């Protein structure tokens, strides 16, 4: 029997990811303040491309990589295959992301952009390899299958992204650039982010709310519907260069999401702990944004609709700033205090402080009280094309990002406290 402590990866495989991601979150919102007046323009524009890539890579993916280095051993009941690869991956990401994002912002594609994109792709390959090897050594179940597929979609998304970057200067693709952008973005959103969130939350939510629900049949439906829909969408888009079946693929994906929603509802119904802390409340708020994103997606895909691109941008913000950011912000305070506590608590004496004493629940509440009005204003500003609303919204969200980053550093600072 492996002792459980073997499941704990070293701090260097996890903590620096939290710190860099929180910095990336603040930088994203600083740039959002500057770019706010241009947000309602077409989404294929330098600043929005830079912001999107800073968000998905510099904030969300860095955080998810760090958290998965901690959580994958818990989910698959094994140890992390390598604790050295995460250090190399972070170096590659921290070097590559500014190169890529800076190139998008300036809209200049030199060797800097390609080097940055190559560093990011390499980091993604190495991370996926590490996760694959870790999961393969442990117990296989539907949740580990979901994690495998999420990483496969991340690799496909990043590869298409690199090819698109090359395509900007050296045309590679037979269709226009935007055709492939319409593939690159959805498979990244649904294949990587959404699927990973579904996989991790399916394990953590029942654990945190003490749910008796073990009905993973619904997760099987989610897994097959979501991946079938995405795979058909990818094949038709790349091989046949059309999107004729998009409504059928959407139906498959929505069916998968309904199964996931039913699973989460079942967990909540059978939970012993119905009074949730701030972190869990924010997780449920975040999940509700999936519905908002689906409504906007339906508007965007409505047959014959000739829509302004700002609705597509609003869809992007609903998904990323609504679902992804809020779930990460909430779950940070369900994981980081434990990670720090594990490393500072002494084995030979009973601790005076517990993980809940290492962070401020009030700050977690304040962050969402400021963030939600900010996001609501941002979406309203985008849909109604009101610049001043967008700028005020960006300042609200920047304030949240600063509170969040300060909180992450405050918790990390507890490492100096060896008195537990």
Binding site for another protein (CB under 8 A): 1, 3-5, 7-8, 70, 73-78, 207-208, 210, 212, 272-273, 275, 338, 341-342, 345, 347-351, 354-356
Tokens of 407: 């909180």
- Least spacing, CB of residue 277 vs another protein, in Å: 10
Nearer to another protein, 236 or 277 (CB): 277
**Is the Cβ of residue 345 or residue 399 nearer to another protein in the bound state?**
345
Closer residue to another protein (CB): 208 or 233: 208
What residues contact residue 74 under an 8 Å CB cut-off, 6+ apart? 7, 203
Q: Write out the two tokens for 410.
A: 């405050």
* Residue 316, SS3 per DSSP: helix
At closest approach, how far in Å is the CB of 61 from another protein? 23
Q: How far apart are CA 130 and CA 65, in angstroms?
A: 11
Looking at beta carbons only, is 36 or 75 nearer to another protein? 75
User: How is 44-97 classified by DSSP, letter by letter?
Assistant: SSHHHHHHHHIIIIIIIIHHHHHHHHHHHHHHHTS--S-SSHHHHHHHHHHHHH
Q: Using the minimum distance from each CB to another protein, give the nearer residue, 138 or 292.
A: 138
Distance CA 266, CA 347 (A): 38
* Closer residue to another protein in complex, CB, 184/334: 334
Residue 376 tokens read as 């609501």
Rounded least distance, CB 90 to another protein, Å: 21
- Smallest gap from Cβ 289 to another protein, in A, equals 26
Cβ 338 to another protein, closest distance in Å? Answer: 6
DSSP state of 244: T
Q: Are 17 and 63 in contact (CB under 8 A)?
A: yes
- In the complex, the smallest distance separating the C-beta of residue 389 from another protein, rounded to whole angstroms, is 40
């Amino acid at each position: 029997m492996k002792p459980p402590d073997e499941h704990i990866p070293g701090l260097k495989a996890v903590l620096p990811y939290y710190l860099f991601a929180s910095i990336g979150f603040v930088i994203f919102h600083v740039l959002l303040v500057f770019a706010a007046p241009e947000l309602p323009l077409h989404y294929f524009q330098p600043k929005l491309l830079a912001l999107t890539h800073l968000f998905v890579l510099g904030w969300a993916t860095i955080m998810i990589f760090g958290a998965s280095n901690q959580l994958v051993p818990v989910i698959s009941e094994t140890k992390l295959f390598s604790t050295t690869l995460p250090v190399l991956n972070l170096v590659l990401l921290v070097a590559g992301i500014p190169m890529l994002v800076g190139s998008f912002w300036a809209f200049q594609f030199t060797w800097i952009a390609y080097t940055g994109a190559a560093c990011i792709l390499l980091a993604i390959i190495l991370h996926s390899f590490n996760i694959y090897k870790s999961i393969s050594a442990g117990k296989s179940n539907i949740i580990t299958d979901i994690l495998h597929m999420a990483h496969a979609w991340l690799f496909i998304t990043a590869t298409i992204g690199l090819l698109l970057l090359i395509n900007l200067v050296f045309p590679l693709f037979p269709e226009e650039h935007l055709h492939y952008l319409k593939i690159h973005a959805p498979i990244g959103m649904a294949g990587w982010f959404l699927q990973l969130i579904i996989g991790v939350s399916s394990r953590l939510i029942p654990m945190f709310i003490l749910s008796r629900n073990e009905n993973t049949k619904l997760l099987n439906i989610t897994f097959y519907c979501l991946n079938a829909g995405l795979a058909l969408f990818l094949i038709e888009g790349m091989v046949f260069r059309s999107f004729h079946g998009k409504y059928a693929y959407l139906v498959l994906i929505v069916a998968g999401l309904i199964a996931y929603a039913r699973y989460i509802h079942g967990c909540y119904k059978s939970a012993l702990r119905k009074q949730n802390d701030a972190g869990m409340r924010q997780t449920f708020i975040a999940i509700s944004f999936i519905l908002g994103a689906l409504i906007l997606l339906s508007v965007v895909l409505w047959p014959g609709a000739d829509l302004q691109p700002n609705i597509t941008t609003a869809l992007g913000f609903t998904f990323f700033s609504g679902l992804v950011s809020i779930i990460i912000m909430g779950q940070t305070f369900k994981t980081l205090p434990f990670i720090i506590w594990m490393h500072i608590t002494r084995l030979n004496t009973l601790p005076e402080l517990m993980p809940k004493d290492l962070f401020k629940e009030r700050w977690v509440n304040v962050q969402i009280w400021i963030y939600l009005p900010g996001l609501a204003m941002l979406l309203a500003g985008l849909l109604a094309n009101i610049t001043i609303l967008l700028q005020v919204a960006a300042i609200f969200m920047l304030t949240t990002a600063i509170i969040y980053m300060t909180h992450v550093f405050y918790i990390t600072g507890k490492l100096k406290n060896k008195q537990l």
